[in-house]
Structure 1
Amino acid sequence: MADSHPDPRDTAPDTSTGFGFGLHHVLICLPPGGEDACRSYYVDVLGFVEVAKPPALAARGGLWVRADGLEIHLGVEEDFTPQRKAHPGILVRELDTLAERITSAGYAITWDENLPGHRRFHTFDNHGNRLEFLTPA
């Protein structure tokens, strides 16, 4: 059966630059002293693993987490404001399983069918930052 919503990237122009761009990490901010709360969400709920920060950067606070091919740096921002619109779009193979895990931990998710060729939902971490999880349909 043909997909009624083709991925727009399939018809996009060639985007090659020769630089080999790729994503190393995403930075999400947290309030001062918010590291333990982030651990409880990103490690305990999402299943990421905390990785050691280099000593010079560890002195700044925050934490780094990694899962599969994704690394997220959670950095302390003195005048923290949660990102309610800006967000990382995180590809997930087992979207429904992740949705169940997040809701079982007491976090709300909102399914959104407005991205052709993908299934996705949005949620907020325990500091109010928006996250999008998606998988190709």
Structure 2
Amino acid sequence: MILDLHHVQLAMPKGGEDKARGFYRDILGLPEREKPLDMQQNGGCWFEYCGVRVHLGVEQDFRPAQKAHPAFSVRGFGQLRRQCETAGFATRQSNNIDGQARFFVDDPFGNRVEIIDGENPI
């Protein structure tokens, strides 16, 4: 029986750690968590905040996830959208779902990420 979602794993190309930090840590606000020592040689980054865990792992034959994606419910929806756009990450408006506004943005590697307004149901 499933108890919880432990983490989401996304792929990234080799050497993309600084770009991952710039997006997931600096824009989305997920603090980086140090990877276990025995996994650090594999590259990649882990981010975690209040039970939300995102792991980015290096994939040799990297292709971005353009349909599959994580969806984050956020506080400060409009501000986060402006931050993404100011940092050069184009956002795409989407239809509201379950009464909540949302948009899509691609991470620095082209992986699709959904952002949902967690504060203001429509």
Q: TM-score, normalised by structure 1?
A: 0.80
Equivalent pair of 2:74/2:116 in contact (CA under 8 Å): yes
**What is the match of residue 113 of structure 1?**
95
1:104 aligns with 2:86: yes
> Structure 2 residue aligned with 1:65, among 25, 43, 47?
47
| Unaligned ranges ≥5, structure 1 | 1-18
| Unaligned ranges ≥5, structure 2 | none
**What is the match of residue 59 of structure 2?**
77
Secondary structure of the corresponding residue to residue 109 of structure 2: coil
CA displacement at 1:135 relative to structure 2: 2.6
1:86 aligns with 2:68: yes
- For the aligned residue pairs, the C-alpha RMSD in angstroms reads 1.5
State the alpha-carbon separation in 2 of the partners of residues 31 and 133 from structure 1: 23
Give the number of aligned pairs: 119
**What is the match of residue 108 of structure 2?**
126
**What is the match of residue 25 of structure 1?**
7
State the alpha-carbon separation in 1 of the partners of residues 5 and 59 from structure 2: 22
Letter of the 1:80 counterpart: F
Identical-pair percentage = 40
**What is the match of residue 55 of structure 1?**
37
Secondary structure of the corresponding residue to residue 107 of structure 1: coil
Secondary structure of the corresponding residue to residue 26 of structure 2: helix
Letter of the 1:125 counterpart: D
Q: Which runs of 4+ in 1 moved over 6 A?
A: none
CA displacement at 1:88 relative to structure 2: 0.6
The structure number with the bigger radius of gyration is: 1
Bigger strand fraction: 2
Equivalent pair of 2:100/2:117 in contact (CA under 8 Å): yes
